[in-house]
Structure 1
């Protein structure tokens, strides 16, 4: 795992200020504190800050170059099938045991087509001196980040946004389309960032820069996989594919742990990790919320006792959340509106005291049908077809339910369902997953639905919604949150459910095997039998939610009032101060729950304040 960076002039014009490029390294050292390196030519610089995970010797520090000095490589991530790929290259002179070094002979043999042979999470840059070609590529799901920017005949890249804008002096022009998407979704879909001049390399793709121009090569498109399979022994096959994915991702020369919540996704990963390594070598970690209705640590402790792991938890209270908020918003040049980034950072900081790598359950909900929205999509046509008086009566009764401080309040779920059930499926998906901000109150043009949610190539709404979440919410929100929160403390997070074999298996399945009636993750729960206690398998999905609503009525209220002050909002012209004042007053007074919308605005204001973009 690394922080990588570089600057290239494909036309071989000497770089004007190489010292500015090398300044990106220290700004990425939190991602890789164990070793640094750089390769330089007059027209190209490659650098890396390394977190040593596989082959802990300095010989495995990056950048790598092939024996002839033709091709350079920097890579952030892990290649889980590196041993298999090495066996295909008996004549190549490897200098280390590093898993990523195998990318060099693969590129020399197959070019960018070789990317499809990699099984892992990665963001990489290759420089081919012979052809004057820069290749920037990312893994299939988009687990590892890679940003780039073009200016004055050069192309710069880095693992995070801030080295590009702080070191190279790139304009901080605000991308209005990205801003409108953020206000609608709570995240910015690839390839945009909030800065107009900085872009993200698309997941499953490579950006190829040559003297004659730039093009994008896509080596992985999940929409091409048809969800029609109904294997006769699907749960047994799933269990074995998941077992293989976990075992591959346990490869490391450093201690490993698992983030657990007591839910089925992370518990399955933990059980299979213990099966492979034994309980003495496995540590588990969970967040312990002081808000009783949000705390699931007792379930994680029960899992630890069942598996025999060494277990630790971290207390999450309002002071801890405030510290996390200050840290995240001051150090990450992307607005991350998922409140779970805060406990994720707190958990990562605690885990880093004992381990260098953690496994988690990311991807299971999108691939195996875990969200309540999937049940909502299945029920919506029936609800919309009810006689109007009955439908409106039920809607009024739902809206009359009292607000709840529960982690996943039934009143909120039913309210969102009733609000969006009559809409076409993409509109209702946005109503259920979006920020809740009223477009009419925003002083910016809102993006078209096709820009936010391109129509997935699927025959059923259920399959389309799961594919949409895999290619948007997971990629652009959840994986961003996980990478930035963990890498701030140099902790490598791995996601076995995103293993290529497991992902393809899941994408091929008929969605009826995943969601049936009110039951989500049907097949995954069946595969867990014999590995987990029944009480864990039967638990309702809750996720790592944060008590933002109550925090906004107590300790966070003064900061919300400062950031959302009417004069500040009027000066910016981004959102109606009257509208926001109404939201804040109703929420603070307990008359309504506007936590999602208010939190989005707070995160946006923190980002604007810290990173000072130009209009």
Structure 2
């Protein structure tokens, strides 16, 4: 976890500073983390990020329009300033369909409008709570739950979904009344109310223009580009269990990056994850390290795990 966000938008009431600080304090603490806050007439926003992460914030000195991005962008040369300038030209469309895992928030003081958009797959989770002209939003469910307007209670249908499928479906969270921003969403809030639309819907249509071998080549090329982009120019660690995912990533690692990387496997020395992970690392040309899981692992890290994953 490298970042977090919590915020309040109020349509016609003052934002209680103590309540806002309580929400910000409920975010998962980051070791050596940094943070900043943004305040406007109807908006308070707290953002935190790891010491190694770049703060993705920009503000236009002429209009006062401010942009905050949470997550990671994949486009080469992308900056928050570039997205801000695009927003000034195209409006909220500039926040949608970008290449990355992100939530983008734009505040326009000219219309007192807050716009929130996320990536096509909703990979950066954002929880929402609406009541009487107020919008709460946060990357952690517990940051919403500490607000006095929220009465924590389990959503029985969400619980049934989770116990049945191991996932929460549609826009539900485990807390009654708290929703999750759906994938490819564009939400705007101002004194006129809250509006939300979906800017992209996946389409599955047959395409017979290529045979199976050529489609396989296209898939391989896409994987190669994705792995090269993720590895970048920095040192990296590949968790290697010997499963399909780690094998595929290892197979597409660029040769020039191998000296900057290493692989690791979790478990005892003779478990399958370690045995096969070591073989995959050797085949890929990566050094390999075993990270043992002691018998008291779950008891030792249970509290941290609950905090990081909202229970």
Same fold (TM over 0.5): yes
Task: Judge conservation of contact 2:57–2:80 (CA < 8 Å) in 1.
Answer: no
Given that 1:29 and 1:49 are in contact with CA atoms closer than 8 Å, whether structure 2 keeps it comes out as no
1:176 pairs, out of 151, 156, 159, with 156
Cα deviation digits, residues 207-233 of structure 1 (max 9, x gap): 2223222222212211x2314346232
Name the structure 2 match of 1:263: 243
Between 1 and 2, higher relative CO (CA 8 Å, sep ≥ 6) is seen in 1
SS across alignment from 1:67: coil
Q: Could you tell me how far 1:107 is from its partner in structure 2?
A: 2.1
Q: 1:246 aligns with which of 227, 235, 244?
A: 227
After superposition, what is the alpha-carbon deviation per residue over 1:345-378, rounded to whole angstroms, capped at 9, x for unaligned? Answer: xxxxxxxxxxxxxxxxxxxxxxxxxxxxxxxxxx
Match of 2:9 in 1: 8
Query: Paired residue for 1:28?
Result: 27
- 2: CA distance, partners of 1:167 / 1:255: 40
Distance in 2 between the 1:308 and 1:181 partners?
43
User: Which ranges in structure 1 are unaligned for 5 or more consecutive residues?
Assistant: 56-60, 87-98, 335-615
1:5 and 1:158 in contact (8 A); partners too: yes
User: What TM-score, normalized to structure 1?
Assistant: 0.46
Structure with greater Cα Rg: 1
* Contact 1:47/1:74 (<8 A) preserved: no
Question: After TM superposition, where is structure 1 displaced by more than 6 Å over at least 4 residues in a row?
Answer: none
Does residue 206 of the first structure (1) align with residue 183 of the second (2)?
no
- Rate the CA distance shift 1:313–1:30 in 2: closer, same or farther, 3 A: farther
CA 1:32/1:120 → structure 2, altered by over 3 Å: closer, same or farther?
Answer: farther
Tell me the distance in 1 between the aligned counterparts of 2:251 and 2:24: 38
Alpha carbons of structure 1 residues 82 and 14: separation in structure 2 relative to 1, 3 Å: farther
Judged with a 3 Å threshold, the aligned counterparts in structure 2 of structure 1 residues 289 and 134 are, in CA distance, closer, same or farther, namely farther
Taking a change above 3 Å as real, the CA distance of residues 289 and 78 of structure 1, as seen in their structure-2 partners, is same
Q: CA deviation at 1:331?
A: 4.8
* Deviation at residue 175 of structure 1 after TM alignment: 1.7
Counterpart of 1:123?
A: 103
- Counterpart Cα distance in 1 of 2:229 and 2:158: 37
**1:289/1:72 CA distance change after superposition, 3 Å:** farther
2:151 equivalent to 1:151: no
Q: If each structure's helix is expressed as a fraction of its own residues, which one has the higher value?
A: 1
Aligned-pair Cα RMSD in Å: 2.6
Residue 299 of structure 2: aligned partner: 322
Q: After alignment, is 197-206 or 107-116 more displaced?
A: 107-116
Out of 205, 209, 217, the position equivalent to 1:226 is 205
Counterpart of 1:554? none
C-alpha deviation, 1:317, in angstroms: 4.6
Within 5 A, what are the aligned runs for 1:178-577?
Answer: 178-222=158-202, 224-229=203-208, 231-232=210-211, 233-251=214-232, 255-275=235-255, 277-289=256-268, 295-334=272-311
Higher strand residue share: 2
Aligned to 1:22, what secondary structure does the other structure show?
helix
Q: Report how far residue 72 of structure 1 moved.
A: 2.2
Contact 1:147/1:157 (CA < 8 Å) preserved in 2?
Answer: yes
Kindly state the Cα deviation for residue 8 of structure 1 after the two structures are TM-superposed: 1.2
